[in-house]
A and B are shown apart, each in its own frame.
Chain A
Amino acid sequence: MSDSTSTVSTAASASTFLPEVPEWRRMMNRFLGHRGLLMGSIILGLIVVLAILAPWLAPHDPYLQNISQRMIPPVWHEKGSWEHVFGTDKLGRDYLSRLLYGARISLTIGLSAALISGLIGTTLGVLAGYFGGRVDAVISYIITTRLAMPVVLVALAMSALVGGSLQMVIILLGLLLWDRFAVVARSTTQQLRDAEFIASAKVLGASTTYILVRELLPNILSALIVVMTLEMAHAILLEATLSFLGLGVQPPMPSWGLMISEGKAYMFFKTWVIAIPGIALMVLVLAINLVGDGLRDMNAPEGRN
């Protein structure tokens, strides 16, 4: 009684008989079928467009102060006017314009910090996963150490020393947020290390650099893009936090975190001062997270939940 002979012939799953659908069409259908992903992409796309077009869309100069027009409430209040749709701040600057320019800051920081940390984390993770052994032990130790460091505190302390600025915040966050990239790159590389296409590249005498960059990287990219979105959201929230505590982006830049910080003193009577930038932050981060979750679902085989 051996398996090969007595086993009833071919097995076929039902899907084999479905008409062939091109790969991009399938992805497109899955994309459209995923409500969260669709919603997130639309919102995120909208915010990106608004941010890019800010100089043309903004009704006022975001830095222009006007002492006679301080703390005008937004248009839906009785005293609001269409002149300042979202009202003005304590220095009479137009809130809508500041909000639009603030989107640029958030997006710039999110994207740049995620790119820097992605570069660091991916390099470390791929090396650890591919070479294993001692390299892996050392890099895993570095990751553990990094995880044990309180990010917010270290970022605060360093930016206090260096002085807050847009570039500093980007570099700081980039240097601090690479852990998840490293963890994911390491485990996905480990899974692929012994795959056939890697082995065949080795047999063909490809250099290690070639194998890592041209063969391995494209195959772990989709997982890394998911991490990228999550870290973008993370960086945006951290920038807002640093700026809120006065140690991130410095005034008069229209960072959303800074706007909340500046509005804090007025929030008891003029709630909208903190509500508007806070909601903007939330919507942006929410959209990025929805895209990230959606991409993860799409990457998962048969998109389970």
Chain B
Amino acid sequence: MKRILDVKNLQVSLPTPNGNLRAVRGIDLHVNKGEMLCIVGESGCGKSMTSMALMGLLPKRAEVTAETMYFDGMDLLSLSKKERNQVRGMRMSMIFQEPMTSLNPSYTLGNQLCEGIIKHKKVSKDEAKKRAVYLLERAGVPYPEKRLDQYPHQLSGGLRQRVMIAMALMCEPDLIIADEPTTALDVTIQAQILRLIRELQQEFGTAVIFITHDLGVVARIADRVAVMYAGQVVETASAQDLFADPQHPYTKGLLNCIPIPGKTLPGSHLESIPGVVPSLIGELKGCAFENRCSASIGECCYRSPSLENHLGSEAHQVRCPVATTSFQEAV
């Protein structure tokens, strides 16, 4: 399968008064064409930073480095500002977490939907409007023609998020990054938006990086999953493998936190992971999860584990020596 995005050793750090905050600590990621990759992790694990770095939206003071950062064969890091602008918006687009504040209150929806495609694809205003109406309709926005002349404050949060989805699709991008697009919405609307994103993704064949802290969401939509912890990917696998055969203690812990219909008995105790995430300022010694891990062994305290293939397969990788050795012993 062809990779639309291929990133090796992505690092992001931000200077803070207390020291350098190393939010992303060497991430390897790839997304295949037309695939839904879910990045899952708790807040502060660097998943949003990763998405902003991929889009090139981090503030200037943030330092972004990577061995490679290829998008459809182009090295994103070596593009000029203008070329990067061309890629961003036309070939990559983004859906944000806060539909209430992500639209400019001063301009009509039509104006905001159309400005990107008019700039990137040099289409006429009428053509842009036609596409906007079509996509609004596809995104389940009632009375799409009327919406073009409305202002954001006239729409509910759920509708605004549908508008944001339509906006992200305007230029037929190859990749959409959706950063917790359902978190700020009501539970009933969350499910609708989720279904919509999945449908449109399959219909248009767009690759999606879906960022979430919610394993329930992952189970519903993901093709592949990357679990992040403390600025690193700790496990990556196809959704099926990950749920059926989790390897990293953190992933296992996460899965124990959610009830499974049919398996979890009513009234039974749900697990939680004890302890808190370590500070991401400065260097970490050993495994980042060591202080919360029930399976840790001596070397975890001082040796940083690397991402290894599980069962010899590149499709399932784990960053944990215990998981890897226990497999070897079993063999």
Contact = CB atoms under 8 A, between A and B. Distances in A.
Q: In the complex they form, do A and B come into direct contact, defined as C-beta atoms under 8 angstroms apart?
A: yes
B257 A9 contact: yes
Interface stretch (B31-39, B70-78, B150-158, B275-283): B275-283
A149 interface: no
B265 to A, nearest CB: 14
Nearest to B215: A6
A17 B277 CA distance: 10
Interface in A1-33: 1-3, 5-18
B254 A8 contact: yes
A8 B276 CA distance: 12
Interface stretch (B40-48, B87-95, B138-146, B197-205): B40-48
Contacts of B305: none
Residue among A3, A9, A13 with max Cβ neighbours from chain B (10 Å): A9
A14 B44 contact: yes
Residue among A1, A7, A12 with max Cβ neighbours from chain B (10 Å): A1
Contacts, number: 59
Interface in B262-290: 270, 272-273, 276-281
Given A2-B187, A6-B257, A9-B257, A14 B18 contact: yes
A8 B214 CA distance: 7
Interface string B205-230: 00000000111110010000000000
B258 interface: yes
A8 B270 contact: no
B191 interface: yes
A2 B191 CA distance: 11
B259 interface: yes
Interface residues of A, number: 17
A102 B146 CA distance: 68
B223 to A, nearest CB: 19
A17 B213 CA distance: 22
B21 interface: yes
Given A12-B277, A14-B21, A16-B276, A5 B44 contact: no
Contacts of A3: 187
B18 A18 contact: yes
Residue among A10, A13, A18 with max Cβ neighbours from chain B (10 Å): A10
Contacts of A2: 187
A217 B44 CA distance: 37
B214 A7 contact: yes
Nearest to A1: B216
A6 B258 contact: yes
A109 to B, nearest CB: 40
A17 B278 contact: yes
A295 B190 CA distance: 44
B278 A10 contact: no
B279 A8 contact: no
Given A6-B214, A6-B216, A7-B214, A1 B44 contact: no
Contacts of B272: 9
Interface in B234-276: 254, 257-259, 270, 272-273, 276
A116 to B, nearest CB: 40
B257 A5 contact: yes
Nearest to A29: B17
B44 A8 contact: no
B280 A14 contact: yes
Nearest to B253: A9
A8 B215 contact: yes
Nearest to B264: A5
Nearest to B278: A17
Contact of B42 (A1, A5, A8): A8
B259 A5 contact: yes
A106 to B, nearest CB: 37
A8 B213 contact: yes
A16 B254 CA distance: 22
A300 to B, nearest CB: 15
Contacts of B259: 5-6
Interface of A: 1-3, 5-18
Interface of B: 16, 18, 21, 40-44, 187, 190-191, 213-217, 220, 254, 257-259, 270, 272-273, 276-281
For the complex of A and B, 7 pairs with smallest distance between CB atoms: A17-B279, A6-B216, A11-B43, A8-B42, A1-B216, A12-B276, A6-B258
Given A7-B213, A7-B214, A16-B279, 7 more contacts: A1-B220, A6-B216, A8-B254, A10-B276, A10-B277, A14-B21, A18-B279
28 contacts: A1-B190, A1-B191, A1-B214, A1-B216, A1-B217, A1-B220, A2-B187, A5-B258, A6-B216, A6-B258, A6-B259, A7-B214, A8-B42, A8-B214, A9-B42, A9-B257, A10-B42, A10-B276, A11-B42, A11-B43, A11-B44, A12-B44, A14-B16, A14-B44, A14-B279, A15-B18, A16-B276, A17-B278
